[in-house]
Amino acid sequence: MALIGLVRVSTDKQNVDRQHDALDPICVKVFEEKVSGKLAVDERPGLSAALDYLRDGDMLTVQEVDRLGRDTLTGLVTLAELFERNISVKVLEGVGAGEHTEMNLLLELSLVLASERRRDIVKKTKDGLAAARSRGRIGGRRPVMTEALTIQAAALRDRGFTIRQIQPHLRIAEGKNKGKNPSVGAISQALRGYDETKEGVK
Give the containing element (helix H, strand E) for 50: helix 45-53
Please give the C-alpha separations between residue 165 and each of 24, 94, 184, 187, in angstroms, as whole numbers.
29, 35, 10, 11
> Distance between CA atoms of 36 and 188, rounded to whole angstroms?
9
Q: Which residue, among 80, 64, 61, 78, has the nearest Cα to 113 in the 3D structure?
A: 64
Is 36 assigned a catalytic role? Answer: no
CA dihedral 10, 113, 23, 81 (to 10 degrees): -80
Using the 8-state DSSP alphabet, how is residue 37 labeled? T
The active-site residue out of 10, 36, 115, 183 is 10
What count of other Cβ atoms lies within 10 Å of the Cβ of residue 201? 6
Rounded to the nearest angstrom, the gap between the alpha carbon of residue 148 and the centroid of all alpha carbons in its chain is 24
CB 32 within 8 A of CB 56: no
CA distance 140 to 187: 18
Catalytic residue list: 10
